[in-house]
Amino acid sequence: MQVPGSAGGINNGWQPPTRTQGQGLVNPNQAASAPQTISGPVARIAESNTASASKSWFGGSSDSKVAEVNEQGKIPVRSLLQMFSEGGLLMYPIALCSFVMTVFFFERLLYLRSGRVIPRPFVTRLIEQLEQQQMDRDEAIDLCSKNPSPIATICASALKRYGRPAVEVEQMVLDAGERVSNQLRKHLRLFSAISNVSPLLGLLGTVLGMIEAFNSIAGSNAMGRPELLAGGIGQALITTAAGLLVAIPAYLAYMYFLGKTDRLLMEMDSYAQKVVDVICSEGLAELDNGRSRSRSRRAA
């Protein structure tokens, strides 16, 4: 006799139904094909593991991230105020350097405006009136004294030697230009000093912070815990980063204002040379000769 579901007496996996107590006949083939469910404590543990895995996969919560970062010994960057407090005492002089640099940056930005240093309509009108001799020496000096620009100061100094040789007039222009140059380059050394001092303050804070971190680790049971050392070094490097953040803009501001000052001085020198050529004795003689020639031509 062959077993149903078999060919040639070979069983293909079919098993006869069995009777269990209180449940009747149970077909083992249907039980094997039906999905198995897990209940009890094992199911709760599996669900909790699945939930935690999915939570970590989709990002998790911010509290868990902060806790994980703290466990790894890193600095949780939350705000600038917290980083400032974690940097130590040397963050205060670095912040003072930043404040001073910001104040004088805007002060130099307003002071070195081209329209304030060299009002071109005023200079052009002054040179034209001097060439045409529409005003005398006293009127020109009074006009320059009413204008507060640096180029007006240079022109007023040159007009005080009106009618003198070109050498004397140029010497007055050089003296006045030196004073004006010092005024234009005022506070520029401050930017250079801040760009040099701020990284040194940051480096000093880093060194002191690392010394403190090594001392605290040496006095505690930190064997096999590199996160403590990493956290201390990370905290100490905040001062270096702060010093560089102040030094780099300070150096850029120094180079910008230095280049702008040089350009303004070169432009003022060209205008001052035109004034010298007009008011010196040689220039006045040439103007008189030119006018006499023009009159003779008209008369002829």
117 lies in some domain? yes
pLDDT confidence of residue 214 = 77
φ, ψ at 21 (rounded to 5°): -75, 120
173 lies in some domain? yes
Structure-block tokens of residue 190: 């401050």
Cα distance between the two ends of the chain: 154
Ranked by mean pLDDT, the top range of 41-50, 206-215, 221-230, 251-260 is: 251-260
| Per-position b or e across 92-112, b if 16+ CB within 10 A of its CB | ebbeebbebbeebbeebeebb
Cβ 18 vs Cβ 28: under 8 Å: yes
Q: How many domains does the chain have?
A: 1
Say how far apart CA 18 and CA 77 lie, in whole Å: 67
88 lies in some domain? no
34-63 residue pLDDT tens: 444 444 544 444 444 444 444 433 344 444
pLDDT at 7 over 50: no
110-168 residue pLDDT tens: 999 989 999 999 999 998 888 888 888 888 899 898 888 999 999 999 998 888 888 88
pLDDT at 28 over 60: no
Which is higher by pLDDT, 248 or 72? 248
Question: What letter represents residue 65's amino acid?
Answer: K
215 lies in some domain? no
Which is higher by pLDDT, 241 or 14? 241
247 lies in some domain? no
165 lies in some domain? yes
200-217 residue pLDDT tens: 999 988 888 888 777 777
155 lies in some domain? yes
- State the Cα angle at 92 between 88 and 93, rounded to 5°: 120
290 lies in some domain? yes
Mean pLDDT rounded to a whole number for the chain? 75
Which is higher by pLDDT, 132 or 244? 244
pLDDT confidence of residue 49 = 47
Look up the domain containing 113 and give its range: 103-185+276-299
